Structure 1
């Protein structure tokens, strides 16, 4: 049932694409932290950012076939910012069924990433891949207002087989939509609201309509003359 609902969410939020597959993670936003105004800052990482005001990120994710050194393929990192403390959120990744891929989504507080050697190493390697010498130097974030921030790690592994050796050695990137979806009252994803209202309206209408039809059938049966019995 959850997979069906998640698939409907992708259809509702991305009507103009055909994204048949979905993977997600649900989490509670942590308390706000004060971001340091000294280098290196989070902005220096140049990670793609998802926030309530920019909740959909169309992109292409590099993938790799599972191996001993990369059992879950390649890792990509993102930053979730401007979250509401204590609010439940859902991050979904939707991708076409024509590109079979396995995804794993995990969220981490800043301190956990910085205190875990494997995580900080992976984050540093990905950040280095995003750096480009022609890009202007990143300015430090002068806004020291506490924010609720999380890191998002996505692992992507190709899950198909081809006789094309070149394709097996260099699988193409997967076209995906990464969606940050807040929950309403920590119960229901916000993007599912219109669908839930529609289903509720149909259910209520069907209830009253079925009652009307039932009473109508009873009135017809009461008006029909009873068939006389012959001895």
Structure 2
């Protein structure tokens, strides 16, 4: 009963796991002057992730790969209020019942604006959002003159085959969780701290239980009595 109580206590530290996850790891760039780019960034009306708003649940349109779009449809987001040189990762999580392939890339503001294919893709996505009258979301940020930020491009392609012609012509949207996760000490993702704690406690508990079993059944005195 005592061992059962320990096992049940350890399970309290377990966290839910998503079926499928794709991620990109990056270091935050130096801060840039917001007045030079701020108004333009706001007019894009992109969903933003930041330390204060690190998770968004979205329904993402997808398409099958084609010559024009070998990685499916593209969507754009802003990563704001980053700490320069801090290591982060962005994860996209989705259910296994919605087979999809994702690619994630981060770009500095200057790189996007200086690269015609990227800025064209960004402009097209922004215009599509505004024409669709979707709910425009923006993350909170400090409002200071300088800010470390990045663009995030997410490419999504449907990855299944069906005899249903309708599904093959118009794959359904994919429900995703998009998360911004800072690294503790630039080494360990903050969101995995409960999982890491669980593993450590499980190792300590296993070591203690093995010691009890050894003393109970395998010590020389016990072997001599047997």
Unaligned runs of at least 5 residues, structure 2: 1-13, 135-140
Residues 113, 38 of structure 1: CA spacing in aligned structure 2 closer, same or farther, 3 A cutoff? closer
Unaligned runs of at least 5 residues, structure 1: 1-10, 136-140, 225-231
8 Å contact from structure 2 (residues 62, 156) kept in 1:
yes
Deviation string, structure 1 residues 56-88 (Cα, Å, up to 9, x no partner): 100011111011111000000000001111111
Query: How far apart are 1:188 and its partner, in Å?
Result: 1.0
CA distance in 2, matches of 1:32, 1:24: 23
8 Å contact from structure 2 (residues 35, 145) kept in 1:
no
Residues 187, 143 of structure 1: CA spacing in aligned structure 2 closer, same or farther, 3 A cutoff? closer
How well do the aligned residues superpose, as a CA RMSD in angstroms?
2.5
TM-score (structure 2 length as normaliser): 0.84
| Map of 1:207 onto structure 2 | 207
8 Å contact from structure 1 (residues 37, 144) kept in 2:
no
Query: How far apart are 1:166 and its partner, in Å?
Result: 2.1
8 Å contact from structure 2 (residues 86, 186) kept in 1:
yes
Between structure 1 and structure 2, the one with the greater Rg is 1
Residues 52, 210 of structure 1: CA spacing in aligned structure 2 closer, same or farther, 3 A cutoff? same
| Map of 2:66 onto structure 1 | 67
- The count of residues paired between Structure 1 and Structure 2 equals 207
CA distance in 1, matches of 2:206, 2:166: 56
8 Å contact from structure 1 (residues 102, 158) kept in 2:
yes
TM-score (structure 1 length as normaliser): 0.82
| Map of 1:102 onto structure 2 | 101
8 Å contact from structure 2 (residues 81, 142) kept in 1:
no
